[in-house]
């Protein structure tokens, strides 16, 4: 039994090392240019060890997305979370939270975008994984006079957030991060029918 536990712990350690190595390689050369052998070399592991944990590079990226979604679920429970998007401060809280999340996870966020462009099946699976997050945002929009239904508006909200963050961090930035967060908050709040504060 102890041997099984030790093996499970070793397997979890290897999986974590492969994920961390993949993030470093994605940051250096981009997802599309990354080979599995690049990831295993970065992790100091044999190539065969990769396939004990992930069927493909796409499956590894899905595992990284699942990790990000779990982090996002924890963030939704943080103090200060307000779901009333009529209130500009509630919109700003979400924008600032996402901004920090994007900054910390930029290599994976960029990899997700690159993978979705070239792999329709990956794009479909990642949309399915992200759907609960869209429902969360849509729940904040109920009762507001938004364009389309709440899910459409949530998609617009999320796409604007991630698109602007991607453009900002691709640089060079014309605004400070604080000013960018404020501008994005004002834009989204106005788009949701809010009034300027």
Contact predicate 185/91, CB 8 Å: yes
Contact predicate 188/160, CB 8 Å: yes
**Using alpha carbons only, what angle is made at residue 88 by residues 83 and 90, rounded to the nearest 5 degrees?**
30
Distance of alpha carbon 24 from its chain centroid, rounded? 16
Give the mean pLDDT of 32-53.
96
pLDDT band at 194 (very low <50, low <70, confident <90, very high): low
Per-residue pLDDT reduced to its tens digit, 60-102: 999 999 999 988 878 777 788 888 898 999 999 999 999 999 9
Per-residue pLDDT reduced to its tens digit, 131-172: 999 999 999 988 888 878 899 999 999 999 999 999 999 988
pLDDT band at 2 (very low <50, low <70, confident <90, very high): low
Helix, strand, coil share of the chain (percent; to 5): 75, 0, 25
User: What is the model's pLDDT at position 19?
Assistant: 97
Quickly count: other Cβ atoms within 10 Å of residue 149's Cβ: 11
Spatial separation of the C-alpha atoms in residues 109 and 98, rounded to whole Å? 12
User: What is the model's pLDDT at position 123?
Assistant: 93
User: What is the model's pLDDT at position 148?
Assistant: 82
- Computed over every residue of the chain, the mean pLDDT equals 91
Cis peptide before 172 (omega within 30 of 0): yes
User: What is the model's pLDDT at position 197?
Assistant: 42
Per-residue pLDDT reduced to its tens digit, 16-28: 999 999 999 999 9
Residue 163 burial (C-beta neighbours within 10 Å; 0-12, 13-18, 19+)? exposed
Backbone angles phi, psi at 173, to 5 degrees: -85, 135
User: What is the model's pLDDT at position 55?
Assistant: 96
pTM of the model: 0.87
**Using alpha carbons only, what angle is made at residue 96 by residues 195 and 81, rounded to the nearest 5 degrees?**
75
Of 3 and 50, more confident: 50
Spatial separation of the C-alpha atoms in residues 179 and 165, rounded to whole Å? 13
Per-residue pLDDT reduced to its tens digit, 110-135: 999 999 999 999 999 899 988 999 99
């Amino acid at each position: 039994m102890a041997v099984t536990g030790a093996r499970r712990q070793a397997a979890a350690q290897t999986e974590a090392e492969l994920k961390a190595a993949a993030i470093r390689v994605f940051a250096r050369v981009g997802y599309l240019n990354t080979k599995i052998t690049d990831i295993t070399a970065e992790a100091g592991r044999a190539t065969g060890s990769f396939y004990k944990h992930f069927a493909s590079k796409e499956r590894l990226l899905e595992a990284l997305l699942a990790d990000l979604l779990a982090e996002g679920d924890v963030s939704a429970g943080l103090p200060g979370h307000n779901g009333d998007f009529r209130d500009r401060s509630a919109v700003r809280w979400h924008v600032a939270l996402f901004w920090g999340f994007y900054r910390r996870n930029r290599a994976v966020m960029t990899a997700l975008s690159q993978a979705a462009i070239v792999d329709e099946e990956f794009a479909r699976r990642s949309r399915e994984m992200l759907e609960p997050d869209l429902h969360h945002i849509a729940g904040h929009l109920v009762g507001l006079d938004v364009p389309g239904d709440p899910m459409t508006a949530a998609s617009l909200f999320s796409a604007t957030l991630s698109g602007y963050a991607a453009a900002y961090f691709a640089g060079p930035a014309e605004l400070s991060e604080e000013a960018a967060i404020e501008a994005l908050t004002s834009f989204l709040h106005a788009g949701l029918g809010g009034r300027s504060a």
